[in-house]
Amino acid sequence: MSLKITTNLVEESKISSFDPDNIVFGRVFTDHMFSCDFVNGEWTNFRIDPFGKIPLSPTLSALHYGQAIFEGMKAYKNEDGVITLFRPLENLKRLNRSAVRMCMPELPADIFMEGMKKLITIDKDWIPSTSGSSLYIRPFMFATDDYLGVKPSEHYSFMIYACPVNAYYSHPLKVRIEETYTRASKGGVGAAKCAGNYAASMYPTKLAQQEGYDQVLWTDGDEHQYLEETGTSNVFVICGDTIYTPELSDSLLAGITRDSIIKLLRAQGKNVIEQRISIKDLISWHESKQLTEMFVSGTAATVTNIELFGYKDKNYTVNHTDNLLSKTILEDFNNIKTLKTSDSFDWISVVNESEFITN
């Protein structure tokens, strides 16, 4: 480890109040957090502190003009206590793509990896090892200038916190195909994992939830005719022997789980096609009974089936019980993440605790 991280540990861990058999998603946080600052054009002040509130000025530019980006990733602990991360450098690449689009500074790999691995090493007892659980890791960057004018901030903070989680969804999803509101349009920020994209999704999602759906399935901003993604995940549709997923564009988040599914299935000889998927085709595949499965993919969502989609006041049910490809994908991923099967894709980064032990 080369980064000098000042470490200030809690006097007493909160872990005795954490029940790994009753995990509520996103409500319990580990003992510590990693932080650093961007000042005078460079990243500095690397530290690990007790998890807690941070002082904010009312003028903080991220609060007003939205320069705020984040990532979602997970750490796993296998039966032998080995801690793994899944494709962490892909998260760093996406964070830096988001940073460029939002006119924020990029983060070097050593800060991202060493800050995260040290935090995980210190809080390793919080990584649950029950089936389906993991330690969710949230790296994020935000603008910290105290300035009223609209311009890119000169100061930023980058932080990482973590929380033990189970899968985000505990049941198959009911989604409503969106015809009115738009998540992202050509030339916009849809491919960036920026806070504003999630803010913009909340009102349409609330409307869909009031009608009994779990999520919105977004469509393209031009015509509302092509599937894009849900508010939390990418989407896959199986028709006959072919697995379709919307092709990437500047209005779609390039999910790392999405990419891993495509690579895994192609390596298994399956036919995966990335292309625009029209609602017209989706409904015609459903009517001809060729549509055998739909699922969403994401770090938090993992791989979760869609049991029903709604479009223009009509609901279409989808098989979510028999011969599910989603289940085998999940098992394959879990086996790779816990080193039960060999990591032939070179996706796993093992956290070598001895490198990060704090004296």
Q: Which residues bind ligand COI (CB under 6 A)?
A: 72, 168, 232, 298-301
Q: How far is the CB of 164 from ligand COI (least distance, A)?
A: 14
Q: How far is the CB of 19 from ligand COI (least distance, A)?
A: 21
Write the DSSP string, 124-170.
GGG---STT-EEEEEEEEEE--B-SS-S--S-EEEEEEEEEE--S-S
The position carrying tokens 């790994």 is: 20
Helix (H, G, I), strand (E, B), or coil: what is residue 316? Answer: strand
Single-letter code of the amino acid located at 249 = S
Tokens of 217: 């399935």
Q: Which residue is nearest to ligand COI (CB)?
A: 72
Q: How far is the CB of 118 from ligand COI (least distance, A)?
A: 21
CB 351 within 8 A of CB 86: no
H-helix segments, the chain: 61-65, 88-101, 109-122, 195-210, 256-267, 279-287, 325-337, 353-356
Q: List 10's β-bridge partners, or say none.
A: none
Question: Alpha-carbon distance 178 to 182, whole Å?
Answer: 8
- Residue 351 has a CB neighbour count (10 Å cut-off) of 22
Cβ neighbours for 175, distance < 8 A, ≥ 6 positions apart: 208, 213, 214, 215, 216, 217, 230, 306, 308, 309, 310
Helix (H, G, I), strand (E, B), or coil: what is residue 303? Answer: strand
Nearest to 252 by CA among 301, 217, 300: 217
Nearer to ligand COI, 112 or 311 (CB): 112
Nearer to ligand COI, 144 or 297 (CB): 297
The position carrying tokens 């995940």 is: 233
Nearer to ligand COI, 219 or 232 (CB): 232
Nearer to ligand COI, 91 or 349 (CB): 91
Nearer to ligand COI, 142 or 285 (CB): 142
Nearer to ligand COI, 105 or 139 (CB): 139
DSSP H helix total and E strand total for the chain: 8, 18
Q: How far is the CB of 59 from ligand COI (least distance, A)?
A: 28
Q: How far is the CB of 232 from ligand COI (least distance, A)?
A: 4
Q: How far is the CB of 194 from ligand COI (least distance, A)?
A: 11
Q: How far is the CB of 123 from ligand COI (least distance, A)?
A: 18
Nearer to ligand COI, 232 or 285 (CB): 232
CB 260 within 8 A of CB 225: no
Q: How far is the CB of 138 from ligand COI (least distance, A)?
A: 8
CB 304 within 8 A of CB 296: yes
Q: How far is the CB of 341 from ligand COI (least distance, A)?
A: 23
Nearer to ligand COI, 5 or 215 (CB): 215
Q: What is the DSSP letter of 248?
A: P
Nearer to ligand COI, 67 or 232 (CB): 232
